[in-house]
A and B are shown apart, each in its own frame.
Chain A
Amino acid sequence: MQPLKTTEPSPFLLNTEHLCLVAIETDDFHSNGLWAAGSPTAYRLTGSENLPVSNTVFIKAMSGGAAHQNPVWDSSRKVPAEHLDYGYIEKCKDVKYLEKILRVLRSGEEGVYSHLTEFCESHLEKLQPKSRALRKETSAATAASFSKDEWSQILQELQTWEEDTKRTDMLLKQDLFDDLVKSKMPPVRGSRCLVSPSQSLFPEARKNPSKRAVPRGYREWDKFDVEKECDNIDGDVLKKDPPAILDTQHPKLKQEADVSSLLSQRQKLLLANREKDKGNEAFRAKDFKEAVTYYSRSLSILPTVGAYNNRAQAEINLSRWHDAMRDCQQVLELDPDNKKALLRRATVHNHMGNVQLASEDLRGVLRQDPYNIAATQLLSKIEEKMSECQLEQEQRSKKIFIEEVEEENSCSMKELQTACPAQPSQPVGGEERFAAPAERRDMGNTQKKPHSRGDGGPHTESSNSHHHGHWKSKGNSPDKYKVPQESKEKVANGSDKRGSTASVPGDQNNSSKGTAGGGKFEESANLDAPCGALPPQLSRLKNEGNLLFKNGQFADALDKYSQAIQGYTDSGLDSPQDLCVLYSNRAACFLKDGNSQDCIQDCTRALELQPFSLKPLLRRAMAYESLEQYRKAYVDYKTVLQIDSSVQAAHDSVNRITRMLIEQDGPEWRQKLPEIPLVPLSAQQHRREEPPSAEVLQARVEKAAREAERRADVLFPALKQEGNDFVKKGQYRDAFGKYTECLKLKPEECSIYTNRALCLLKLERFGEAKQDCDAALRLEPANKKAFYRRALANKGLQDFLACSSDLQEVLQLDPSVQEAQKELEEVTVLLRQSLADGSKEHRRTVLIREVDGDEDTTAVQSNCTGAVSINQKPTSAYDFGQSLNAARCSGNTEACAELLASTSPEQLPRYLSTQLDGHTLSFIMQALDSHLLEKNPNLVYQHLHHLHTADRFTVVQLLQDMDTHHHMTQLFEHLSAVESAEFTKNDVQNLANKYI
């Protein structure tokens, strides 16, 4: 039947057909981004629009004949038949015209050419993939559009949902909280001014009819004066009723969702998820603030891991590091292995400057999911950063290093990496660590906040690329920038004797007050506070300047400081400290005003008066940076870091400038730097003491540990530096002493061990040197310097065999080390001699012979089958490789099995790495299968579990032959038949997938 034949047809239907015509005519009208401007008067009748359109049609017909002469085709013209041609279409670049051609082709007016149509479509797609002409009508998908699995999955999902939702439906009906919810509802609109919504509406309403919604026209609504109406109503009923109900101020979205606690768990979950979804959507729209609000609402209804996690991410995007940290921690409390939370915490750590903790978290992620791309990327970035910091910290010392010592920059960075996995990152342990930052923040000004580096300095852009203006508006204080270390800066300016905050050079905005609106500080009462040796009128000027500075009136502050300086010179005082402070403060004003030149001048003056004072240096550095004199800025920042290595802003800037300079000057940028002045120890500052918190004992203990660590951080490079100096001067005994002290501070520092080993070698204490090398190698198994020095020590101890194996190791790590090459040759000769002497070195007969032949000596072995003695306790990759080769050449799978049994699975990939080839792999498989599997299936599994991580494994795997494949399949079959507590069939299956 005809659906439109209802008694009252829908209003839409009447006009539809009529207007469809219009739609087709105006088809080419694209109005993307057009303002839907205007008022109803701007409305035109569709009929009048039709007229010009038909006019063009008429003109088109008229000019049709002249079409041939015109090479450029107006897209409004009719398409001539010649253009329906492969050649023409291919050359045509006019998307609109192509669309037109396609329309003609599809219509079949000129005949049906399916290939040409396809060709035209594909050509158009190349030019404009989003063209509307390419949209094809498709019918609904059916089971045939999906693979069998997909289809059954879709149906299965629906089925499960159906069952679940029916259960929920039933349960919902049993919930009986409705009345309670109702009682919390807001009153009926228009009845707001009543005392209580529970009171009867009607008597009041009759008295006061305007209160009830009186029908109004929209013109009337326009003129509706809310305040007046309210007053009318209020005046009648309740004078005291606050007009706040209809205030004009835009009310904010509530942070907490107002949910009755009586709501059932089910409903809560439902609501919480809905709020979370809203948060997600806001997040996708990049409205992170709103997202955080919605996540908070969701959490206030029902705390879930997902919402915490998402809020953390949103907070990260807003650069609210501490909040993000708290959320990550919440997640990890609920779910200690949550990858996302770990990853996000790592990001937060990274931004807060705790690279160590960040890399620890990332390792945690990678332990669960070794292929996590985000984690891998971030980790490598962090490592880069760490190495960069390291490089720069040692940059100064590099110049005076002797060559051997110099190389170790690279190892100290590696040491950090290797040290990390050594400390298991337990979530519980992590929490304790977090407690500290959060707490310290509360304590205010003693803790520097890397994230509040503020809007004044030029250095926020690069590191936090996703700042979104939000927090800028929040950072109301003009100069959060140098919140760090107030007390310390007092020292720097020699003004530590003065207690009042007002006397602190102007730009200190105590972070404890940092959140307070702007500038209503109590200091105004303190204007006359005495300042050092300044006469009262000058101190007053200075304090006024400070106050003005804090209030952001930099120009006025500048005046005051200038007056003070003038007054100072006039009075002929002799107090360089105070003058320095004045210059420094004026420099800050200049900096704020963007007058970098004058800022530099003032800073230089201040520094002449008081060399190595921190703030003028920092300001000058910033000024240089803003003038793009990066080299000078770099030098200043480095000097700042020498004075106090904890100035985060300086660290960041140094990193950034390094990048700039590398870009600018290439890899030799360091040579173009002016000299960085050495800061005398007396000027170097240790981190200030933190006031002990009376509350948490644990926190205090922790802080003490941190303190010690920090002190070590400062002391350590100095000691090392001195040690290196001594080495350079040839005073090895003194250097040894220094290095030993270093190790007391940081027993984990690999480079110190190698350096000390060098001293010991020079002192001919070979035994100790060897011990140090061993220690270094324990920390960093691939340290070639340690190998090399151990080789020397071994040589000194007359153990040529060990010496040569160490040298081989060095050469394996880096074939270009010529000293090692030379040394090896020498040792080989010595070794031969010692053999020839008949001094029996029975322990490793095979090895010795192999060293003789150097490379592929195993061929020698092949004829003496069976009776090969194989070193079953490999200590190095070299040993292992030799033994393995020996076993393989003799086809002795048993020996290989024994060898594998005595090798720890973790070491296997490293031992194998360079030697792995198809035959070796096949041989190992056989050995595992035939001998080891029966005795110790767990070990086999462990070996297999680690073997595939070997360097060349993937390559070998690609090139493996049938035989190897066969052996592998067999091995895994056997392995999966074994029952074990240590691994399941699934594990074996997963592993097998990696191999086969």
Chain B
Amino acid sequence: MTFPQVIAHIQKSLNYTVFDSKWIPCSAKFICLGNYPRGTGVIQIYELQHGEAQLIKEVEKPKPLKCGTFGATSLQQRHLATGDFDGNLNIWNLESPEVPVYTAKAHKEIVNSIDGVGGLGIGDGAPEIVTGSRDGTVKVWDPRQKDLPVANMEPVEGETKRDCWTVAFGHAFNDEDRCVCAGYDNGDIKLFDLRNMSLRWETNIKNGVCCVEFDRKDIDMNKLVATSLEGKFHVFDMRTQHPVKGFASVSEKAHKSTIWQVRHLPQNRDIFMTAGGAGNLHLWKYEYPAKRSKQDSDGMDVGVAGSVSLLQNATLSSQPISSLDWSPDKQGLCVCSGFDQSVRVLIVTKLNLV
């Protein structure tokens, strides 16, 4: 049996709706963000202790918390940036989470998605946080600048505002270069180049884009995975951009329901897990083609997409799994939470042998 196995190591039932769960880098702890039935938000910190997840801290917040990231903080501080239902961006010091260390009224409506880069030694350049909201805007924040975003991507006046469901950083391989990818409810995927402040590429995958992620944030952009509402996901090879055709991609129909999340294994960028609306997880591997680019008839370079193969799948619940996070420190360790109001710690074995 050389295939990886997914083990549901720990399962913990919660008394609130959990939206996001994240490992705290360089620790055996993870956080859960969510929404109490009474309409308030909550941050919980759990620690793995002898095969159990022990709750070590719980803080209630006035607004339900939708999403969080550690991507823009240093390894010492490990501050958590969250977005809430009211459109606020907050950064919390988890040692004293009562008062935020940074706060901004980022959006008019719910912050659907958040991502960070420049911290944790991942990605060169300034620490930045990007938020995407139902109000249709995508904003980039620097924790060193109060109140105002350092970049704002919003539709022009008069155009319908699409609901932005997901944002992700990438291409941050030196101090200047950086890209933000955003996915919208109408299937639009837009890639903003923060260096040139321009829209670099856009496409439409026909169904709402639930999650986008670069395989790595801190390299010359390599691959982008976008998952969609109807259970399909697309892998774009981001190395070769054709002026007309854009990026080559391969798509795969995996789940019979929405794919809520995609997360690349931090230890191997070509392996990723998708989390589906039917409570199942699929582990995939991307295989590169023999040549990643070729010349088209006009002598332009066009990318060549590879293929994806399913390594393993596991059904954990009947409810959607809405968040998934690999431990950056331990290969194969992963936390996921779903709408069955529980959080699970998973172990995926034999990832080093894939």
Contact = CB atoms under 8 A, between A and B. Distances in A.
A286 B333 contact: no
B134 interface: yes
A218 B199 contact: yes
Contacts of A914: none
Given A23-B230, A33-B305, A158-B330, A132 B257 contact: no
B347 A186 contact: no
Contacts of A6: 17, 35, 39, 64
A9 to B, nearest CB: 10
Nearest to B244: A37
A218 B192 contact: yes
Interface string A12-54: 1001100110111011011111111111101110100000000
Given A166-B28, A188-B150, A12 B165 contact: yes
A27 B232 CA distance: 10
A185 B125 CA distance: 7
Bin the interface of chain B by size.
35 or more
Given A37-B203, A216-B152, A226-B196, A32 B268 contact: no
Interface in A206-222: 212-222
Given A46-B207, A226-B196, A253-B173, A141 B202 contact: no
Interface string B305-346: 101011011111001101000000110010000011100001
Interface stretch (A269-277, A416-424, A444-452, A879-887): A269-277
A214 to B, nearest CB: 8
Contacts of A87: none
A42 B253 CA distance: 21
Nearest to A155: B51
Nearest to A245: B176
Interface string B142-165: 101100111111111101000101
B130 to A, nearest CB: 11
Contact of A251 (B17, B174, B234): B174
B343 to A, nearest CB: 13
A172 to B, nearest CB: 6
A32 B19 contact: no
A281 B173 CA distance: 15
Given A23-B231, A177-B76, A38 B121 contact: no
Contact of B202 (A40, A181, A187, A270): A40
Contacts of B128: 189
Contacts of B206: 43-44, 46
Contacts of B270: 281, 284-285
B37 interface: yes
A137 interface: yes
B250 interface: yes
Interface string A277-318: 110011011100010000000000000000000000000000
B103 interface: no
B196 to A, nearest CB: 6
Contacts of B307: 32
B292 to A, nearest CB: 8
A34 B339 CA distance: 33
A692 interface: no
B66 interface: yes
Interface in A145-167: 145-146, 154-155, 158-159, 161-162, 165-166
Contacts of A281: 216, 268-270
Contacts of A44: 206
Contacts of B126: 185-189
A264 B187 CA distance: 45
A137 B125 CA distance: 43
Interface string B170-192: 00011111000000011111101
A169 interface: yes
Contacts of B151: 189-190, 213
Given A20-B256, A217-B156, A281-B270, A3 B17 contact: yes
Given A6-B17, A10-B66, A189-B126, A140 B8 contact: yes
Nearest to A192: B176
Interface residues of A, number: 104
A189 B140 contact: yes
Most chain A C-beta atoms within 10 Å of own C-beta, residue among B77, B236, B249: B249
B39 A158 contact: no
A46 B28 CA distance: 44
Interface in B204-233: 204-208, 210, 216, 218-220, 222, 229-232
Contacts of A981: none
A32 B250 CA distance: 5
A505 to B, nearest CB: 37
B349 interface: yes
Contacts of A270: 26, 75, 121
B33 interface: no
Nearest to B182: A218
A175 B76 contact: yes
B7 A1 contact: no
B89 interface: no
Contacts of A284: 270, 288
A178 interface: yes
A146 B9 CA distance: 13
Contacts of A248: 196
Given A7-B64, A190-B150, A20 B230 contact: yes
Contacts of A572: none
B48 interface: yes
Which of B26, B153, B251, B292 is most buried by chain A, counting CB atoms within 10 A of its CB?
B26
Interface in A109-124: none
Given A7-B85, A34-B251, A218-B192, A253 B163 contact: no
Contact of A35 (B216, B248, B313): B248
A215 B154 contact: yes
Contacts of B148: 212-213
B229 A12 contact: yes
A309 to B, nearest CB: 17
A682 interface: no
A139 interface: yes
Interface string B238-274: 0000000111111111001110100000011110000
Given A12-B258, A172-B75, A218-B199, A7 B7 contact: no
Contacts of B31: none
A837 interface: no
B167 interface: no
A173 interface: yes
A215 B153 CA distance: 7
Nearest to B150: A189
A158 B333 contact: yes
A251 B310 CA distance: 36
A465 interface: no
A386 B229 CA distance: 62
B219 A141 contact: no
B93 interface: no
Given A4-B339, A11-B110, A172-B75, A154 B349 contact: yes
Nearest to B177: A251
A177 B77 CA distance: 11
Interface string A162-204: 1001101100110111100110011111110000000001000
A43 B162 CA distance: 13
Given A3-B341, A20-B230, A32-B305, 11 more contacts: A3-B17, A19-B229, A23-B229, A32-B251, A38-B204, A42-B204, A189-B194, A213-B149, A221-B199, A281-B216, A290-B220
Interface of A: 1, 3-4, 6-8, 10-12, 15-16, 19-20, 22-24, 26-27, 29-40, 42-44, 46, 130, 132, 135, 137-142, 145-146, 154-155, 158-159, 161-162, 165-166, 168-169, 172-173, 175-178, 181-182, 185-191, 201, 212-222, 224, 226, 245-246, 248, 251-254, 258, 267, 270-271, 274, 277-278, 281-282, 284-286, 290
11 contacts: A1-B341, A12-B165, A15-B185, A23-B229, A35-B248, A43-B187, A138-B312, A140-B8, A190-B151, A215-B137, A221-B198
